[in-house]
Amino acid sequence: MIFKIFNTLSRTKEDFTPLAPPHVGLYVCGPTVYGDPHLGHARPAVTYDLLFRLLMALGYKVRYVRNITDVGHLEHDSDDGEDKLQKKARLEKLEPMEVAQYYTNRYREAMNMLGVLPPSIEPQASGHIIEQIELIKEILEAGYAYQSNGSVYFDVDRYNADHCYGKLSGRSVEEMLSVTRQLDGSGDKRKSYDFALWKKASPEHIMRWPSPWSDGFPGWHLECSAMSRKYLGDRFDIHGGGMDLMFPHHECEIAQSTASMGHEAVRYWMHNNMITIDGRKMGKSLGNFITLEELFTGRNTLLEKAYSPMTIRFFILQAHYRSTLDFSNEALSAAEKGFERLMAAFDMIDKIKPAEKSTVDVSAIKSQCMEALCDDLNSPVAIAVLFEWVKVINRLNDGADTVTDGDLRSLSEQFRFVVCDLLGLSAEKRGDGELTSGLIEMILQVRQQAKEQKNWAVSDKIRDELSRLGVVVKDRKDGADWELK
RNA sequence: GGUCUGAUGGCCGAGGGGUUAGGCACAGCUCUGCAAAAGCUGCUACAGCGGUUCGAAUCCGCUUCAGACCUCCA
């Protein structure tokens, strides 16, 4: 099965062919760890987690690198800007690395709850200062950078003369010149669109490292070029990130890689779209973000209730990654209901009684879902396929359709593969150890006897009490199903 | 101002020249002691105006509206 991937470079879907099969190199821009992870962070994490899982399912050996930006970027494009991490540290009277560590932990916890698999390598920018300095040296030697007052800047004009700056985002240097802001304090740069490779640190700047040029810190875009190269090589397959990083971040990465090596590093660029709220991008700058913890606990005035991590994951997967996804309580609640119905059917499979012959063809569940995902990660269609089968599973449970023992096992296996392995969804409300389920079964048997004696008072009391404890009873003709709420 | 993207039923969201996406909500029916669950049925949309075509939600043009990027941002 061929995986089709939308390459931002060509703006078309292309057949994915790895550079060195069966190996695939995947690099994704991770978070800057200076704040609690929010819903916006969940989108790329879940998207590229799905990609990671799909590539593995296709038989590739994937090295997935997702960085942690702990060096911090400048708050403003000026020489006296304060490091984001440093600012936070000053406010909280903590070491900058303490802040970075705290939010790194928070990020990992949240991702784990969302069922996001840990990447193969999670390199930290602060641990790769040497590699970044080496990369700057190479760019300087190649003649695409210049020193200025202890800082080093990338020479966009020089680069643009030999290569094309702006190919990813579709911008031209001319038009950038006319709109780029002229900021005070950027006098060290020759052109407004030149970007920093190394910044000299002001005396009060805490996060600093020695370099041939000054005590300072690496530029904003350097770490991804340096770390992707270190772990994935001069050329690698896929680079992903949010659409908002396309310019300038990814454009600069391309320039840095090309300037230092003479060729591009990345073969396929992928960009996930944003999560919006009231039609506007959810993000730090607008201050309209909802943290994942707030989502999980419901503690935010925008939230009508708490939503479970898996509901969030399902919500994200129900939209295509290149579409904006609009947040609302209605949309989250709909996702929650849908997810619960999906998982209820999934649990139901084990309770279906096999029959002599099958009235349904279960052979294509997995392949249909794989086909959808191979079409540029079309998870909404894969989920639609699953819902077709939810209906079938319920009919099987009602006896309206039948399956043989073999088909039932195949159905169960395929469903598990798609739901758990590919989509990364897992049941949350299980917690039913043998003792718990045994007790519930026993109580339901007592209730069944009461029902047979038409003792509705007792039977309703049992049902109500169980309901109060979170056990939902679903009566059938002969007995009852139950699930934990 | 420049570059780009989008506008789908009550809501969320796929698709993308002729054929039911799917989910949620809603209504009716079946089942049922009641309720819930489940099943069946119904509601059937593609911003507006032109054009191409046997046929357009889908292609082209214009208009309106919205958003993203051009500054750190997932």
Instruction: Please answer whether residues A85 and A207 qualify as being in contact, where contact means their C-beta atoms are separated by less than 8 angstroms.
Output: yes
β-partners of residue A258 are none
Tell me the nt nearest to A240, Cα to C1'.
Answer: B74
- The pTM of the full predicted model, rounded to 2 decimals, is 0.92
Tell me the nt nearest to A473, Cα to C1'.
Answer: B36
Q: Give pLDDT tens digits for A134-161.
A: 999 999 999 999 999 999 999 999 999 9
- In this prediction the ipTM stands at 0.94
Strand order in the sheet with A23-28: A61-66, A23-28, A236-242, A266-272
Instruction: Please answer whether residues A45 and A111 qualify as being in contact, where contact means their C-beta atoms are separated by less than 8 angstroms.
Output: yes
The pLDDT-based confidence of A78 (bands split at 50, 70, 90) is very low
Tell me the nt nearest to A43, Cα to C1'.
Answer: B74
Q: What is the mean pLDDT of chain A?
A: 90
* pLDDT for res A217: 93
* pLDDT for res A195: 93
The pLDDT-based confidence of A419 (bands split at 50, 70, 90) is very high
* pLDDT for res A94: 79
Q: Look at residue A343 and tell me whether its pLDDT is greater than 60.
A: yes
Q: Look at residue A50 and tell me whether its pLDDT is greater than 90.
A: yes
| A172 SS3 class | coil
Q: Look at residue A187 and tell me whether its pLDDT is greater than 70.
A: no
Q: Look at residue A347 and tell me whether its pLDDT is greater than 80.
A: yes
* pLDDT for res A92: 67
Q: Which helix (H) or strand (E) holds A109?
A: helix A96-113
DSSP assignment of A220-276 equals: TTHHHHHHHHHHH-SSEEEEEEEGGGIIIIIHHHHHHHHHHHSS-SEEEEEEE--EE
Q: Look at residue A179 and tell me whether its pLDDT is greater than 70.
A: no
The CA distance from A7 to A89, in Å, is: 39
* pLDDT for res A432: 60
* pLDDT for res A311: 96
How much is the average pLDDT of A75-100? Answer: 69
Q: Distance in angstroms, CA of A323 to C1' of B6?
A: 9
* Phi, psi values for residue A32, rounded to 5°: -90, 120
DSSP assignment of A287-349 equals: T---BHHHHHHT-STT-SS---HHHHHHHHHTS-TTS-EEE-HHHHHHHHHHHHHHHHHHHHG
A377: alpha, beta or left? (left if phi > 0; alpha if psi -120 to 50):
left
Instruction: Please answer whether residues A6 and A376 qualify as being in contact, where contact means their C-beta atoms are separated by less than 8 angstroms.
Output: yes
Lowest mean pLDDT, pick from A69-78, A360-369, A399-408, A473-482? A69-78
How much is the average pLDDT of A106-120? Answer: 97
Q: Give pLDDT tens digits for A217-233.
A: 999 899 999 999 999 99
Tell me the nt nearest to A272, Cα to C1'.
Answer: B74
* pLDDT for res A79: 42
> Which residue's C-alpha is at the least distance from the C1' of B39?
A395
**Maximum Cα–Cα distance for chain A, whole Å?**
92
What residues have CB less than 8 Å from A168, skipping those under 6 apart? A8, A9, A246, A247, A250, A251, A254, A269
Instruction: Please answer whether residues A77 and A186 qualify as being in contact, where contact means their C-beta atoms are separated by less than 8 angstroms.
Output: yes
How much is the average pLDDT of A95-121? Answer: 94
Which nucleotides in chain B have some atom under 7 angstroms from a protein Cβ?
1-5, 11-15, 21-25, 31-40, 66-74
Q: Which helix (H) or strand (E) holds A384?
A: helix A379-398
Q: Dihedral of CA A105/A111/A116/A121: which sign?
A: negative
> Which residue's C-alpha is at the least distance from the C1' of B22?
A384
Q: Distance in angstroms, CA of A435 to C1' of B5?
A: 55
The CA distance from A158 to A163, in Å, is: 9
* pLDDT for res A438: 82
Give me the torsion for CA of A80, A86, A88, A92, rounded to 10°.
-120
DSSP letter, residue A191:
S
> Which residue's C-alpha is at the least distance from the C1' of B10?
A330
Q: Look at residue A74 and tell me whether its pLDDT is greater than 60.
A: no
* pLDDT for res A17: 96
Q: Give pLDDT tens digits for A447-480.
A: 988 988 889 899 999 999 988 888 888 888 778 8
Amino acid sitting at position A245? L
The CA distance from A211 to A213, in Å, is: 5
The CA distance from A279 to A302, in Å, is: 14
